[in-house]
């Protein structure tokens, strides 16, 4: 049973454009929603995370939008750069369980 | 230089063979995790440990075993019972703190079957 569904599977964006990746979750007990970025041959690294008490969090060019009623959250990458080309994973967990449930991943390619 | 070290980077398993993947961390983190990554399926939790000498099964523990004899080390054994072991294996660690749940990942081990 896939508790976190991520889309699209792949995304191609022109340099300077906006990249948008969406995730939907099922378990209403989830209260922590991070995004991880992974470059080929490397482990993922935390990019940005949000808790359900806010609807948006911004760090530089990266923004998470969170819709608790719809059980959806999304990552927006503004002014996308070729260096942003990577695989992005959303995830969800219940606080302090240490058990992150990951989405299927989105491979982003930013064309120069 | 703090971090998580996984070895080897590439590993090949023969039929019926058990293999062990190494994971060492010098971040002084209490919690450690093993994830399996398959193309198009994201990361799936195999085992995790929040304290020395204790560990719990994740979502796909069948065919795998772990030990946590030291805080710094969390080796994963892929047994012959795991019929489809080819995957990218990722080890991670974190502090046990509800206000900070960031996972730190190693660079992974690619396991293939000969």
Question: Number of CB pairs < 8 Å for A and B?
Answer: 61
Contact predicate B65/B56, CB 8 Å: no
SS3 B56: strand
Point out the residue among A43, A95, A98 whose CB comes nearest to the CB of B90. A43
Q: Residue A96 and residue B101: Cβ atoms within 8 Å?
A: yes
pLDDT value for B39: 85
A74-91 pLDDT, tens digit per residue, is 999 999 999 999 999 999
Dist CA A64 CA A58 (whole Å):
6
pLDDT (mean) for B22-37: 96
Tokens of B9: 């980077």
Q: Is the pLDDT of residue B61 over 70?
A: yes
Q: What value does the CA radius of gyration of chain A take, rounded to a whole number of Å? A: 13
Arithmetic mean of pLDDT over chain B? 92
In this prediction, residue B2 carries a pLDDT of: 67
- Which residues in A lie closer than 8 A to residue B101 (C-beta atoms)? 32, 34, 49, 93, 95-96, 98, 100
Does the structure show a pLDDT above 90 at B95? Answer: no
Low-confidence ranges of chain A (pLDDT < 70): 1-2, 96
Residues of chain A with C-beta less than 8 angstroms from the C-beta of B31: 98
Instruction: Pick A102's closest partner by Cβ from B40, B43, B108.
Output: B43
The whole-number pLDDT of residue B25 equals 97
Contacts of A34 in chain B (CB under 8 A): 101-102
Report, in this order, helix, strand and coil percent for chain B, each rounded to 5: 0, 55, 45
């Amino acid at each position: 049973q896939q508790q976190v569904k991520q889309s699209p599977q792949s995304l191609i964006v022109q340099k300077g454009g906006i990249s948008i990746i969406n995730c939907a979750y099922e378990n209403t007990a989830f209260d922590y929603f991070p995004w991880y970025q992974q470059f080929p041959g490397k482990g993922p690294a935390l990019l940005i995370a949000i808790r359900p008490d806010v609807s948006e969090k911004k760090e530089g060019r990266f923004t998470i939008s969170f819709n608790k009623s719809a059980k959806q959250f999304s990552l927006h990458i503004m002014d996308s750069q070729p260096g942003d080309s990577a695989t992005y994973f959303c995830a969800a967990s219940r606080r302090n369980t240490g058990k992150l449930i990951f989405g299927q991943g989105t491979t982003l390619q930013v064309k120069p | 230089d703090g971090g998580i070290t996984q070895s080897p980077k590439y590993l090949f398993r023969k039929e019926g063979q058990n293999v062990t993947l190494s994971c060492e961390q010098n971040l002084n983190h209490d919690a450690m995790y093993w994830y399996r990554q398959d193309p198009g399926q994201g990361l799936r939790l195999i085992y995790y440990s929040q304290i020395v000498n204790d560990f719990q099964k994740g979502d796909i523990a069948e065919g795998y075993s772990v030990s946590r004899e030291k805080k710094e080390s969390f080796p994963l054994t892929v047994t012959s019972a795991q019929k489809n072991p080819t995957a990218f294996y990722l080890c991670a660690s974190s502090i046990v703190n509800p206000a900070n749940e960031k996972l730190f990942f190693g660079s992974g081990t690619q396991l293939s079957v000969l």
